[in-house]
Amino acid sequence: MQDRGAATVVIKIDRAALDPAKLVLPYEVRGERMPRIEQKDAEGGPYVPTFIPRVEAWYRAPISRQHFRAYLVVRKREDRFVQVPATAGALDEIERLGREWAALDAKANESDPWSGVIRALMAARDRNSKTESG
């Protein structure tokens, strides 16, 4: 998994509102409580996760948005996050933050003395790949 864009979004969920029988915590991931995913691995067998980070849990059902309490929008370029309440306008605010931070990142990249070198190398790579494929 790879982050893309200027921010990562984490959803803060009201765990008390969830059915405890469907909640699998990291220390419970073994035996019959091992989460199953309807997906095949590289060998064609069922994909089974072997690790769940401590900040996450596995829930065996869809989680309704009514149980979302907030969104934590984490800026990747620096140690900063904004907590956005889970209201009707939350997604618009998250998108606004993402656009704002992406613009700031682009401006910072332009002022970076290495950015010109990096852009030139990427342009050369793109030219070479077009020549090889063309």
Tens-digit pLDDT profile for residues 93-128: 999 998 998 888 888 777 766 666 666 777 788 887
List the structure tokens of 99: 């656009």
Q: Which CA distances in Å does 119 have to 76, 105, 109, 113, 126?
A: 21, 15, 10, 11, 10
Tell whether the torsion through CA atoms of 115, 121, 126 and 127 is positive or negative: positive
Q: Any bridge partners for residue 75, and if so which? A: 7, 80
A 10 A CB-CB count for 86 gives: 17
pLDDT of residue 1: 36
- The amino acid at residue 123 is A
61 has a pLDDT exceeding 50? yes
Give Cβ neighbours of residue 38 (< 8 Å, ≥ 6 apart): 46
In whole angstroms, what is the distance from residue 99 CA to residue 130 CA? 30
2 has a pLDDT exceeding 50? no
Above pLDDT 90, what percent of the chain?
25
In whole angstroms, what is the distance from residue 21 CA to residue 96 CA? 37
pTM above 0.75, yes or no: no
